[in-house]
Amino acid sequence: MGPRLLLRISAVLMFIHALFHVLGHLKWKTLSSPSYDVVVKHMTERKFPFMGAEHSMGDYFDGYGYIIAIFIVLTGCLLWALSDISMKYPLVGLQLLIPITLFIILLTIDVFIFFFPAAAIYSGLATVCCTMAIVKLNEIHHAKVKPH
């Protein structure tokens, strides 16, 4: 598999991760058990002033959930764009792909520790594909700059 395909697979995995993240997040207030309902009630019913706005902890939880979904989608978009850019400009691709891959690694660890290990599969697989793409792009870059 070449770097283009690996990066496109990574992008699709990130889009799938974002989709399941949003679908799961939309249900957090409706899951039901006696103890869970009490927590949701406390998180959503009381609002308090903080930094010039008045919100509940549930509002903040929603906001964080949606912004992370946006970051995951944007990461997928960047990976898709890099699948083309990197083939023409491997060094530029590497310079952008390495920090993006580090972000995905941190996302995977965060999701695994604080959320659901199954959800970490998508970003984990994307990390593997991105790492393989980095290795292949590095080979392409070194082949282009090889002294004659």
pTM exceeds 0.75 for this model: yes
In a domain, 101, yes or no: yes
In 3D space, the residue among 27, 39, 3, 13 whose CA is nearest the CA of residue 120 turns out to be: 13
The domain total for the chain is 1
The answer to whether residue 100 is domain-embedded is: yes
pLDDT-based confidence at residue 73 (cuts at 50, 70, 90): very high
* pLDDT score recorded for residue 80: 97
Amino acid, single-letter form, for residue 19? L
Could you tell me if residue 36 is inside a domain?
Answer: no
Residue where the block lists tokens 């283009």: 4
Q: Report which DSSP code applies to 48.
A: E
Cβ atoms of 87 and 4 within 8 Å: the answer is yes
The 3 state secondary structure assigned to 120-148 is: HHHHHHHHHHHHHHHHHHHHHHHHHCCCC
User: Using CA atoms, how far apart are residues 16 and 67, in angstroms rounded to an integer?
Assistant: 16
Query: Domain containing 96: what range?
Result: 3-28+55-144
Whether residue 39 lies inside any domain: the answer is: no
| Residue 48 within a domain | no
Examine residue 72 and state whether it is found in any structural domain, yes or no: yes
